[in-house]
Structure 1
Amino acid sequence: MTTRATRLLRMLDELRQRRGPVRGAQLAARLGVSLRTVYRDIDALRAQGAEIDGDAGVGYRMRPGFVMPPMMFPDEELEALVLGARWVASHADPELAAAANRALDRITGVLPERLRLQVETSGLFAPHWRPRDPEPWLPALRQAIRDGHAVRMRYRDAEGRDSERVVWPFAMAFLDDMRLLAAWCETRADFRHFRADRVLELESTGRPYPEQRHQLLRRWEQQCLGRRASREQ
Structure 2
Amino acid sequence: MRRADRLFEIIQRLRRRRVVTAHSLAEQFNTSERTIYRDIRDLIASKVPIEGAAGIGYSLRKGYDLPPLMFSESELEALVFGARMVQNWSDAELGRAADAALSKIENVLPAHLQRMLDDRSLWAPKDVRRVPVTFDLGRLRAAIRGCTKVRFRYCDEKGAETRRKVRPLSLWFYPPFWTAASWCELRDDFRFFRVDRMNDVEFLNEPFAEEAGKSAADLFRHLLSKS
Q: Is the 8 A contact 1:155 1:164 kept in 2?
A: yes
Question: Deviation of residue 134 (structure 1)?
Answer: 3.6
Q: Give distance in 1, aligned partners of 2:147 and 2:68.
A: 34
1:1-233 alignment runs, 5 A limit? 71-128=69-126, 130-137=128-135, 138-211=137-210, 216-228=215-227
Question: Deviation of residue 131 (structure 1)?
Answer: 4.5
Question: Deviation of residue 128 (structure 1)?
Answer: 4.1
Q: Give distance in 2, aligned partners of 1:113 and 1:157.
A: 52
Question: Deviation of residue 133 (structure 1)?
Answer: 4.7
Consecutive aligned runs of 4 or more in structure 1 exceeding 6 Å deviation: none
Q: Which runs of 5+ in 2 are unaligned?
A: 1-66
Q: Give distance in 2, aligned partners of 1:139 and 1:92.
A: 9
Cα distance change, pair 181–70 in 1 and its aligned pair in 2 (3 A): closer
Cα distance change, pair 205–129 in 1 and its aligned pair in 2 (3 A): closer
* Length-normalised TM-score, structure 2: 0.63
* Length-normalised TM-score, structure 1: 0.62
Question: Deviation of residue 129 (structure 1)?
Answer: 6.5
1:67-101 deviations in whole A, cap 9, x for unaligned? xx562011211111001001111222233222212
RMSD in angstroms over aligned alpha carbons?
2.3
State the identity as a percent: 40
Cα distance change, pair 210–189 in 1 and its aligned pair in 2 (3 A): same
1:146-202 deviations in whole A, cap 9, x for unaligned? 211111121111121221121011111111121111000111111000000000111
Q: Give distance in 2, aligned partners of 1:123 and 1:223.
A: 38
Q: Which runs of 5+ in 1 are unaligned?
A: 1-68, 229-233
Q: Give distance in 2, aligned partners of 1:131 and 1:219.
A: 32
Q: Partner of 2:63 in structure 1?
A: none
Moved more, 123-132 or 176-185: 123-132
Question: Deviation of residue 107 (structure 1)?
Answer: 1.4
